[in-house]
């Protein structure tokens, strides 16, 4: 069926809910500004929609600082000269029935730090883009577009709404953004974020739905140091077994010890097999335990994603797997709690180097 480019166009003021939902879901928009003489400029932007009391606004962070002054950015200079702006957010698909866009026109201005709405704007941007949670934006102005009027177009009646799949793009951003952090700054990890992450872990799939994992949170400095000391002895013995040079062993030990001591919170995911089925034969017993371990991995991934979504990072350390009794003793754990990993949690001191990922063609070993 040919697409009629005029059929679905409509000018809508005040903003209709469908177009707002489409806008809310877009990750990127293109912001058009012009200076007093009318010279146009357009840039791709990350943006968030704020919907207070039926008066929606679009906010855009300024995270680039040309020579320290964000007001030197062309889009900002233009807005200060002329407040009329336009922003377009679109969806492209090879199936042109699925094409859709929403064009926003409005009046832009700068929300200065501390001004009413600045904190709310940062919160909305950080909720939408976890990357912003890690940037220090408090001292920078935010662009706010108000008095919105929306024009929308869609390739078929349902394209605008069908393209709104809650969470899909955010989930992809979280999955790709999560990273193993091994160095933390001194900020404490908020308790509610840690609790939320453990709740997220609890939503992992598990064999028979028995949830064969428990989490031990180690926050006290004294306990973190005791755990690091207790594990250091095992690490030393194991590294020496590998025939490593004593100086190198001590240097590596110091790094690992520092990791546990500097992270404000450690989470120890433990395998908990008490509620699983018990089989008379070793094959099924082993399979049951493997399932529990697989499920623990899924739970840890949920935990890491939840932390990352809240702007906090973690890193997976396998050390307890090599000395579960040492960890049990150092933390005074019940024997049913089998430590399988250690997740230092906190705010990243710096962005870690990420490893490249395999392309799809390598990931799919076979498709029959
Ligand atoms: C089961 C498991 C054990 C891991 N153990 C460690 C570890 O002991 N120390 C460490 O620095 N990273 C450890 N990692 C993290 C990996 O090195 C990391 O996930 C990998 O390099 C990819 O980097 P990314 O997590 O930033 O994507 C472990 C990861 C998994 C899944």
Cβ–Cβ < 8 Å for 337, 216: yes
* Protein residue with least CA distance to atom 11, ligand 1: 317
Instruction: Render pLDDT for 173-217 as a digit per residue (tens, 0 to 9).
Output: 889 889 999 999 999 999 999 999 999 999 999 999 999 999 999
CA atoms lying within 13 Å on the CB side of residue 147: 7
Q: Where are the domains of the chain?
A: 10-166, 191-346
pLDDT in tens, 2-26: 334 333 344 435 678 889 889 988 9
* CATH architecture assigned to 191-346: 3-Layer(aba) Sandwich (3.40)
State pLDDT tens for residues 283-337: 999 999 999 999 999 999 999 999 999 999 999 999 999 999 999 999 999 999 9
Q: Are 121 and 60 in contact (CB under 8 A)?
A: no
Residue nearest to atom 27 of ligand 1 (CA): 179
The 10s digit of each residue's pLDDT in 54-95 is: 689 999 999 876 667 888 899 999 999 999 999 999 999 888
Residue 301 class from Cβ within 10 Å (0-12 exposed, 13-18 middle, 19+ buried)? middle
Q: Which residue has the higher pLDDT, 162 or 283?
A: 283
Q: Which residue has the tokens 């095992």?
A: 234
Say which residue the tokens 């704020």 belong to: 50
| Residue to probe by mutation, ligand 1, list 259, 302, 316, 341, most atoms within 8 Å of CB | 316
Axis-axis angle for helices 191-201, 282-309 (nearest 10) = 140
Q: How many Å apart are CA 286 and CA 294, to the nearest integer?
A: 12
355 lines ligand 1 (CB under 6 A): yes
Read off the pLDDT of residues 273-298 as tens digits, 9 standing for 90 and up: 999 999 999 999 999 999 999 999 99
Whole-number CA gyration radius for the chain: 26
The rounded Å distance from CA 317 to ligand 1 centre is 7
- The three-class DSSP label of residue 284 is helix
Cβ neighbour number for residue 254 with a 10 Å cutoff: 11
Residue 180 Cα to ligand 1 middle (Å) = 6
Task: Please state which architecture CATH assigns to domain 10-166.
Answer: Roll (2.30)
Ligand 1 pocket check for 182: Cβ under 6 Å: yes
Q: What is the pLDDT of residues 81-139, one digit of tens each?
A: 999 999 999 999 888 988 999 999 999 999 999 999 999 999 889 888 878 877 889 99
Instruction: Return d(Cα 360, Cα 368) in angstroms, integer.
Output: 15
> How far is it, in rounded angstroms, from Cα 104 to Cα 87?
5
Pocket flag, ligand 1, residue 316 (CB < 6 Å): yes
**Are the beta carbons of 2 and 145 closer than 8 angstroms?**
no
In whole angstroms, give the CA distance from residue 317 to residue 275.
26
179 alpha carbon to ligand 1 midpoint, in Å? Answer: 9
Shortest-distance Cα residue to atom 18 of ligand 1 = 180
pTM for this structure? 0.64
Please choose, from the candidates 228, 216, 221, 210, the residue with its C-alpha nearest in 3D space to the C-alpha of residue 333: 216
For residue 165, what pLDDT band results from cuts at 50, 70 and 90?
Answer: low
């Amino acid at each position: 069926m040919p697409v009629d480019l005029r059929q679905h166009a409509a000018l809508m003021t005040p903003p209709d809910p469908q177009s707002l939902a489409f806008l809310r879901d877009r990750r990127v928009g293109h912001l058009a500004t012009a200076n007093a003489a009318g010279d146009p400029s357009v840039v791709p932007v990350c943006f968030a929609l704020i919907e207070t009391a039926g008066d929606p606004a679009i906010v855009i962070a300024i995270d680039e600082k040309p020579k320290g002054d964000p007001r030197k950015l062309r889009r900002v200079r233009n807005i200060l000269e002329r407040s009329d702006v336009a922003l377009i957010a679109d969806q492209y698909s090879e199936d042109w029935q699925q094409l859709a866009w929403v064009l926003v026109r409005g009046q832009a201005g700068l929300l200065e730090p501390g001004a009413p709405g600045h904190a709310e704007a940062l919160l909305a941007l950080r909720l939408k883009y976890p990357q912003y949670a890690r940037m220090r934006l408090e001292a920078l102005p935010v662009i706010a577009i108000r008095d919105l009027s929306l024009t929308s177009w869609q390739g078929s009646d349902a394209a605008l709404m069908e393209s709104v799949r809650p969470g899909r793009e955010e989930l992809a951003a979280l999955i790709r953004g999560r990273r193993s952090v091994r160095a933390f700054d001194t900020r404490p990890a908020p308790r509610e974020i840690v609790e939320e992450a453990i709740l997220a872990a609890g939503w992992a799939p598990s064999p028979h739905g028995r949830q064969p994992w428990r989490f031990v949170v180690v926050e006290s400095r004294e306990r973190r140091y005791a755990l690091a000391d207790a594990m250091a002895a095992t690490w030393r013995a194991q590294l020496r077994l590998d025939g490593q040079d004593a100086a190198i062993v001590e240097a590596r030990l110091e790094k690992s010890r520092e990791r546990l001591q500097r992270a404000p919170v450690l989470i120890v995911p433990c395998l908990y097999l008490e509620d699983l089925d018990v089989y008379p034969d070793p094959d099924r017993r082993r399979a049951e335990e493997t399932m529990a371990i697989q499920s623990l991995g899924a739970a840890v991934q949920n935990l890491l994603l939840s932390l990352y979504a809240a702007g906090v990072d973690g890193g997976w350390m396998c050390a307890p797997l090599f000395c579960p009794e040492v960890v049990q003793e150092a933390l005074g754990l019940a024997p049913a709690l089998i430590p399988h990993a250690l997740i230092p949690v906190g705010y990243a001191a710096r962005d870690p180097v990420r490893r490249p990922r395999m392309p799809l063609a390598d990931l799919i070993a076979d498709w029959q």
